[in-house]
């Protein structure tokens, strides 16, 4: 089946003016994210111009225009609000940016809103990220399969940093076989179909197309408006992202599965699938409800929704895929929810695992998790909305019964607590509901008392200027 068209005409996007990671996944093995503080604005302007041009022996910032053969490395650059100020944007101009971006990820209101509290609080963040005011630039380097290329290009970049920026830290990531993440799940399956984006290498799915303006400034968004900023030079083809370092405690997650699968009377693998919404091999519960089975063809892995009205396929009640599972909270698809609908809150995920694979025989104390960007045109309406509302609350689901009628249950009773992956999950109040048939939730099993297994170790709200916008900022800083 083909993706359904939306009413808006397809915009002609100048892919050469858009930073690549926004609209296309690089499918690489290694990433290195340099966290930088500007020490000399004019020298930084010169450095950025060299990266835009690919001059002075430096690699060029990667655009959304696909080139053949595949380049040795991919490079993208984003700014924090203090970073844009250091480049010379005025306070009035900065006031036109996304309100959450202006506050920054270390702001206490922002942090408590997205659940960065306790061990996850900004004061505990690593790599210089605890001090949001000193973080100005994130320069990310992705390399396909050669650690040597990663080191060679890193050395070139580090030589160019001298006199312009200070490297606060570098956060590395390494892909795991079959796109697995540390809890053993296959990731990187579902991404939004962005209107007008370059053709993807992944097979097309049957999901609705999302307006360009949900991911790029200057184009109509799902509400019919346009996210924009001043100056005009930054107002088209730019985007925002939440950069996150999320540490995963694999031993604690295994223990959670062990304890609660016994309580729920199901296998560990089934509970793992219920928590995520997909089996660890990637098969969605909607298409493989009772057992994992062999991996479905890639082209089918994202072809499902939750409300069909047909007895055989409808899952309004979450009997197959829990209403509170990770994928259903983060993209409820056609389920009735508070917050208009899922297409107003989509994000592009560009994160990769870091740290060594967990070996229960040799647990060690190495840190591991997921690091990268969650990309959107509005930090407030997309990343922050998802994190603060749908991941931390359970009352966003609207009253809905399935084809069997209200005696079978209602979706509102079949969700509780927070996302098991992303919620704060204080054991005093945490819970996760496994739906059963029955009026008013009487057939449900609710698991309670588990703790957080993913801790935030760093966060940055960033702005990815268009390529022409990068040139503008480079000139501004040198003026
Ligand atoms: C360490 C942290 C995380 C882990 C282990 C994790 C794991 C996963 C897995 C295994 C999937 C299924 C694969 C797929 O559909 O592509 C998934 C999907 C998804 N995750 Fe996460 N995730 C994490 C963080 C986040 C964050 C921070 C967000 C956003 C706030 C997020 C939003 C999503 C979305 C939107 C989907 C796709 C849902 C869909 O379209 O069906 N995830 N995640």
What pLDDT is attached to residue 2?
A: 38
Q: What is the pLDDT of residues 147-162, one digit of tens each?
A: 999 999 999 999 999 9
**Among protein residues, the one whose CA lies closest to atom 13 of ligand 1:** 187
- Hey, is 158 helix, strand or coil? helix
Give 258-323 as a DSSP string. Answer: HHHHHHHTS-HHHHHHHHHSB-TTS-BTTTSSS---SPPPGGGTT---S--S-TTT--TT-SSS-T
What confidence category does residue 40 fall into, taking pLDDT thresholds of 50, 70 and 90? Answer: very high
User: Is pLDDT above 80 for 182?
Assistant: yes
Average pLDDT over residues 178-198: 97
Smallest CA-to-CA distance from 326 within 281, 288, 273 is with 273
pLDDT in tens, 415-424: 999 999 999 9
**Average pLDDT for 106-132:** 98
Task: Please name the residue whose Cα sits nearest to atom 8 of ligand 1.
Answer: 187
Q: pLDDT above 90 covers what percent of the chain? A: 95
Q: Calculate the alpha carbon distances from 464 to 26, 52, 138 in Å.
A: 16, 13, 10
Confidence at residue 4, expressed as pLDDT on a 0 to 100 scale:
45
Alpha helices in 6-146, H assignment, sequence order: 20-23, 41-53, 81-87, 91-94, 99-103, 108-114
* Secondary structure tally for the chain: helices H, strands E: 12, 12
Choose one of 327, 343, 370 to mutate for the ligand 1 pocket test, by most ligand atoms within 8 angstroms of C-beta: 327
Pocket test for ligand 1, best of 114, 190, 193, 256 (most atoms within 8 A of CB): 190
Does the pLDDT at position 24 exceed 70? yes
Atom number, ligand 1, closest to the C-alpha of residue 187: 13
Mean of the pLDDT values across residues 216-240? Answer: 98
363's enclosing H/E stretch is: none
What φ, ψ does residue 37 adopt, rounded to 5°? -120, 130
Alpha helices in 71-208 (DSSP H): 81-87, 91-94, 99-103, 108-114, 147-161
Ligand 1 pocket test target in 188, 326, 348, 376 with most atoms within 8 Å of CB: 326
- Kindly give the number of the ligand 1 atom that is closest to the alpha carbon of 191: 40
What is the C-alpha separation between 454 and 369, in angstroms, rounded? Answer: 8
For residue 8, pLDDT beyond 90: no
* Stretch 425-430: mean pLDDT: 98
Instruction: Encode pLDDT of 251-298 as tens digits.
Output: 999 999 999 999 999 999 999 999 999 999 999 999 999 999 999 999
Tens-digit pLDDT profile for residues 460-476: 999 999 999 999 999 99
**CA 421 / ligand 1 centre spacing (Å):** 9
Q: What is the mean pLDDT of residues 42-63?
A: 98
Would you state the structure tokens that stand for residue 88, as one six-digit string?
A: 């010379």
**Which is it for strands 30-38 and 445-448: parallel, antiparallel or unpaired?**
unpaired
422, 453, 458, 460, best to mutate for ligand 1 pocket (most atoms within 8 Å of CB): 422
For the entire predicted model, the pTM comes to 0.97
Question: From its phi and psi, is residue 218 left (phi > 0), alpha (psi between -120 and 50) or beta?
Answer: left
pLDDT for residue 6 is more than 70: no
Give the pLDDT score at 467: 98
Ligand 1 pocket: which residues have CB below 6 Å?
181, 183, 185, 187-190, 244, 246, 248, 276, 278, 326-327, 330-331, 347, 349, 369-370, 374, 383, 386-387, 421-422, 454
**Local confidence band at 208 (pLDDT 50, 70, 90 cut-offs):** very high
Biggest distance spanned by C-alpha atoms of the chain: 70
Residue 7 has pLDDT above 80, yes or no: no
Give mean pLDDT, residues 61-86: 96
Q: Across residues 70-99, what is the average pLDDT? A: 97
Q: How is residue 227 written in tokens?
A: 């996210």
How many angstroms is it from 327 CA to the middle of ligand 1? 6
How much helix, strand and coil, in percent to the nearest 5, is found in the chain?
Answer: 30, 20, 50
Q: Would the pLDDT of 99 be above 80?
A: yes
Nearest 5°: phi and psi at 268?
Answer: -60, -40
Q: Which residue has the tokens 């997909």?
A: 278
- Name the band, by pLDDT with cuts 50, 70 and 90, for residue 68: confident
Average pLDDT over residues 7-25: 92
Average pLDDT in the chain? 96
Mean pLDDT computed over 211-236:
98
Q: What is the pLDDT of residue 3?
A: 44
CA distance 35 to 473: 18
In this prediction, residue 330 carries a pLDDT of 98
Across residues 99-116, what is the average pLDDT? 98
Spatial separation of the C-alpha atoms in residues 257 and 271, rounded to whole Å: 7
Mean pLDDT of 328-356: 96
**pLDDT value at residue 472:** 98
Annotate 326-359 with DSSP letters as a single string. HHHHH--TTS-BSSS-GGGS--EEEEEEESPPP-
Q: How many other C-beta atoms are found inside a 10 Å radius of the C-beta of residue 50?
A: 18
Reported as type and span, the H/E element at residue 256 is helix 250-264
Q: What angle do CA 100, 194, 326 make, to 5 degrees?
A: 65
Averaged pLDDT, 373-381: 98
> What percentage of the chain reaches a pLDDT higher than 70?
98
Q: Which of 170, 165, 169, 171 is nearest to 37 (CA)?
A: 165
Q: Which residues contact 80 (CB under 8 A, 6 or more apart)?
A: 104, 132, 135, 136, 137, 138, 460, 461, 462, 463
Locate the ligand 1 atom nearest the alpha carbon of residue 189 and give its number.
16
326 Cα: distance to centroid of ligand 1 (angstroms):
7
């Amino acid at each position: 089946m083909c993706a359904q068209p939306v009413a808006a005409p397809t915009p002609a996007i100048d892919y050469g003016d858009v930073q690549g990671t926004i609209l296309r996944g690089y499918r690489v093995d290694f990433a290195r994210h340099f966290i930088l503080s500007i020490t000399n604005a004019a020298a930084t302007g010169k450095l950025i111009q060299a990266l835009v041009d690919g001059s002075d022996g430096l690699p060029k910032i990667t655009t959304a225009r696909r080139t053949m053969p595949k380049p040795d490395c991919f490079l993208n650059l984003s700014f924090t609000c203090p970073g844009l100020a250091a480049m010379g944007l005025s306070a009035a101009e900065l006031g036109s940016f996304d309100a959450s971006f202006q506050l920054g990820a270390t702001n206490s209101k922002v942090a408590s809103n997205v659940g960065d509290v306790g061990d996850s609080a900004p004061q505990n963040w690593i790599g210089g990220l605890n001090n949001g005011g000193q973080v100005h630039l994130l320069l990310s380097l992705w390399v396909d399969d050669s650690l040597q290329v990663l080191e060679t290009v890193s050395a070139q970049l580090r030589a160019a940093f001298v006199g312009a920026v200070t490297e606060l830290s570098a956060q590395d990531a390494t892909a795991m076989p079959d796109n697995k993440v540390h809890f053993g799940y296959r990731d990187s399956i579902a991404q939004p179909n962005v209107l007008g984006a370059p053709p993807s290498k992944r097979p097309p799915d049957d999901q609705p197309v999302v307006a360009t303006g949900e991911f790029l400034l200057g184009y109509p968004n799902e509400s019919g408006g346009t996210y924009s900023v001043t100056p005009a030079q930054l107002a088209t083809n730019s985007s925002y992202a939440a950069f996150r370092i999320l540490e995963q405690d694999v031993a604690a997650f295994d223990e959670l599965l062990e304890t609660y699968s016994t309580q729920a009377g199901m296998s560990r693998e089934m509970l793992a699938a219920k928590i995520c919404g997909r089996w660890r091999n990637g098969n969605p519960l909607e298409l493989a409800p009772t057992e994992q089975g062999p991996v479905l063809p890639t082209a089918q892995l994202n072809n499902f929704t939750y409300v069909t009205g047909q007895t055989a396929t409808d899952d309004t009640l979450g009997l197959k895929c829990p209403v509170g599972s990770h994928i259903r909270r983060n993209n409820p698809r056609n389920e009735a929810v508070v917050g208009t609908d899922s297409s107003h809150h989509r994000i592009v995920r560009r994160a990769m695992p870091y740290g060594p694979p967990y070996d229960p025989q040799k647990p060690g104390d190495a840190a591991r998790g997921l690091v990268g960007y969650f990309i959107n045109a509005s930090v407030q309406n997309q990343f922050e909305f998802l994190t603060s509302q749908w991941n931390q609350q359970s009352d966003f689901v609207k009253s809905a019964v399935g084809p069997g009628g209200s005696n079978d249950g209602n979706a509102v009773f079949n969700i509780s607590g927070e996302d098991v992956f992303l919620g704060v999950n204080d054991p005093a109040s945490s819970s996760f509901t496994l739906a059963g048939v029955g009026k008013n939730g009487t057939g449900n099993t609710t698991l309670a008392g588990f703790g957080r297994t993913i801790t935030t170790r760093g966060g940055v709200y960033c702005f990815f200027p268009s390529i022409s916008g990068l040139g503008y900022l480079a000139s501004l800083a040198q003026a």
